[in-house]
Amino acid sequence: MPRISVIIPTHNRPALLAEALLSLREQTLTDWEAIIVDDASSTPVTISETDARIRILRHTKSQGGAAAKNAGIREARAEILAFLDDDDLYAPTYLEKAINILERNPELDVIFMGVAWFGAGGEWGQSNYDEAMAKVLVEALGKTIEEEKLIIFGEEIIDALLKSVPMAFQRPVVRKRAIERIGLYQPDCLLWDCDWAIRAALNAKTGLFQDGLYRQRAEGQGYSSRRDRKQEHLNSGIEIKERLLQDARSGRYPQHHIPTLKKAVSKAWFDLAWHHCHQQNKSKAVAALCFSELRQFSLSNLKLFARILRNF
């Protein structure tokens, strides 16, 4: 039985996949298995070097990254799961550090791994990431241990992630038994990595290792992260938070999370209203504002929005 299973979804990026696999083969921890999930690439994935640790699953029809990760989770043999996108890299100590943290902290279910950006847009990505992480960590009120590298979170991390899910929180290493409580990825959700991170915070004990051992490529290759998809991102954020609120009301999550979730849903609708305002779409802005106020009344939001609408 390998100590850790690494799940690698891929689609039509053989050269980048080869780089990702090289970073995996260069790990200081060698007791791993890799499950490559080929999401219906036009040319089926093959591996030139023979390595018994690597298996390939193939979808005959493209199902997307979330479904590919789910397929890998189901096939994984190890008790600990890690994920590597086909265009990214691991630093050499990534797996060893994650395993050691989980072994020293048996109460932890999920370790989110710090990110370092590289590539043509790496400087911009790193700057935005650092700013987002700073805001989340201020709100999360985590307990810092292990020479300020590992942060263990309490329930405050839920409030923080409902506002923003920086990339580190989309790079988990998780005990397989915790997947039963957290659930699989949502294939029909655009921001499925963000959705999973919030559900992990609601259902599991989580921590963050701050060193940027996950190497995040930023060269315009990511379709879902394109800036021109802002409205789709806003809609997906609303969908995620509405579903979480419904689940809390049905008893899936502790009832004391309901006020926090209502506030998050209201803010998500308000952000969409603000977006429509900037797009000069008054009717959609007003409709989104109404949904925001239905979820949670906010006089200050109404006053602010009234000033904006007068400028149409």
Q: Cα torsion for 80, 28, 145, 131, to the nearest 10°?
A: -90
**Per-residue pLDDT at 73 exceeds 70:** yes
In the block, tokens 């979808």 appear at: 59
Q: Is residue 228 scored above 80 in pLDDT?
A: no
Residue 225 reports pLDDT greater than 70: no
pLDDT of residue 222: 62
Say whether both 258 and 208 belong to one domain.
Answer: no
Tally the domains of the chain: 2
C-alpha dihedral, 286 to 288 to 293 to 296, nearest 10°:
-170
Q: What range defines the domain where residue 295 resides?
A: 228-309
The pTM assigned to this predicted structure is 0.94
Q: Are residue 203 and residue 256 in the same domain, yes or no?
A: no
Average pLDDT over residues 25-30: 98
What is d(CA 303, CA 260) in angstroms, rounded to the nearest whole number? 22
CATH number of residue 18's parent domain = 3.90.550.10
pLDDT at residue 78 in the model: 98
The residue out of 157, 183, 217 marking a domain boundary is: 217
Q: Which of 129, 105, 107, 98 is nearest to 217 (CA)?
A: 129
pLDDT at 309 over 80: no
Cβ atoms of 157 and 186 closer than 8 Å? no
